[in-house]
Amino acid sequence: MNLLLLLGALVLTACLIGSKLSHLLRIPTLFFFIALGMLFGSDGLLKIEFSDYALSEQLCSAALIFIMFYGGFGTKWNTARPVAVKSVLLSTFGVLITAGLTGLFCYFFLGFDLMEGMLIGAVLGSTDAASVFSILRSQKLNLKYGTAPMLEIESGSNDPCAYTLTVILLSAMGGSVSVSQIAYVIFSQIVYGMIAGVAIALLAGWAFRNFLFEVDGFDSIFLVAVALASYAIPSLLGGNGYLSAYIAGILLGNQDLPRKKNMANFFDAFNGMMQMFIFFLLGLLVFPSQLPLVLLPSIAIALFLTLVARPASIAALLTPFRAPLKQQLVVSWAGLRGAASIVFSIVAAVSPSYGQEYIFHIVFCVVLLSILFQGTLLPLVAQKADMIDARENVLKTFNTYSEETSIHFIQVEIHGNHPWKNQLIKDVQTIPGTLIAAIIRDKKAVLPKGNTCLLEGDTLIIGAKEYSDNDSVELIERKVDSFDPRIGRPLREIDIKKNALVVLIQRDGSEFIPDGDTVLCEGDNLILYSHISS
Mean pLDDT of all residues in 438-462: 85
Residue 75, domain extent: 48-285+300-397
Q: Is 213 exposed, middle or buried (0-12, 13-18, 19+ CB in 10 A)?
A: middle
> What would the pLDDT profile of 54-84 be if each residue is shown by its tens digit?
888 899 889 889 988 988 888 877 777 888 8
Instruction: Verify that 496 and 442 share a domain, yes or no.
Output: no
Mean pLDDT rounded to a whole number for the chain: 84
Residue 96 forms part of a structural domain: yes
* pLDDT band at residue 4 using 50, 70 and 90 as cut-offs: confident
> What would the pLDDT profile of 14-29 be if each residue is shown by its tens digit?
777 877 777 677 777 7
pLDDT of 466 reads 64
Instruction: Verify that 358 and 426 share a domain, yes or no.
Output: no
pLDDT of 405 reads 47
* Phi and psi angles of residue 349, each rounded to the nearest 5 degrees, phi first: -65, -30
* pLDDT band at residue 534 using 50, 70 and 90 as cut-offs: very low
pLDDT of 77 reads 79
Residue 187 forms part of a structural domain: yes
Cβ(443)–Cβ(422) below 8 Å: no
pLDDT of 156 reads 82
Q: Which residue has the higher pLDDT, 532 or 235?
A: 235
pLDDT of 473 reads 59
* Residues 383, 388, 394, 397, CA torsion sign: negative
Of 379, 475, 333, the C-alpha closest to 136 is 379
DSSP 466: P
Count of domains in the chain? 3
pLDDT of 457 reads 87
> What would the pLDDT profile of 117-166 be if each residue is shown by its tens digit?
999 999 999 988 777 777 777 677 778 888 888 888 888 888 889 999 99
439, pLDDT greater than 80: yes
Mean pLDDT of all residues in 255-273: 81
> What would the pLDDT profile of 354-365 be if each residue is shown by its tens digit?
888 889 999 999
Q: Pseudo-torsion of CA 287, 112, 317, 345, nearest 10°?
A: -30
> What would the pLDDT profile of 189-229 be if each residue is shown by its tens digit?
999 999 999 999 999 999 988 887 777 778 888 999 999 99
Question: Where a domain ends, among 468, 490, 521?
Answer: 468
Residue 23 forms part of a structural domain: no
Lowest mean pLDDT among 121-125, 236-240, 421-425, 479-483: 479-483
Instruction: Verify that 365 and 497 share a domain, yes or no.
Output: no
489, pLDDT greater than 60: yes
Cβ(141)–Cβ(330) below 8 Å: no
Who's near 343: CB < 8 A, 6+ residues apart?
A: 57, 60, 61, 64, 278, 282
Instruction: Verify that 146 and 274 share a domain, yes or no.
Output: yes
pLDDT of 421 reads 86
Question: Where a domain ends, among 350, 375, 397?
Answer: 397
Mean pLDDT of all residues in 234-240: 92
Q: In what order do the strands lie in the sheet with 459-465?
A: 407-413, 459-465, 434-441, 444-446
Instruction: Verify that 443 and 478 share a domain, yes or no.
Output: no
Which whole-number Å values give the CA distances from 342 to 61, 84, 237, 486, in the listed order?
Answer: 10, 27, 25, 63
pLDDT of 467 reads 61
Question: Where a domain ends, among 397, 419, 436?
Answer: 397
The residues that bridge with 500 in the sheet, in sequence order, are: 530
CATH at 407: 3.30.70.1450
Residue 132 forms part of a structural domain: yes
pLDDT of 532 reads 52
DSSP 500: E
The residues that bridge with 501 in the sheet, in sequence order, are: 529
Mean pLDDT of all residues in 457-479: 70
pLDDT of 367 reads 93
> What would the pLDDT profile of 387-405 be if each residue is shown by its tens digit?
887 666 555 555 554 444 4
Instruction: Verify that 477 and 500 share a domain, yes or no.
Output: yes
41, pLDDT greater than 90: no
Please give the full DSSP string across 416-471, using - where no structure is assigned: TT-TTTT-BGGG--PPTTEEEEEEEETTEEE---TTPBP-TT-EEEEEEEPP--GG
CATH at 58: 1.20.1530.20
Lowest mean pLDDT among 47-61, 252-266, 492-506: 492-506
Instruction: Verify that 240 and 369 share a domain, yes or no.
Output: yes
Instruction: Verify that 356 and 382 share a domain, yes or no.
Output: yes
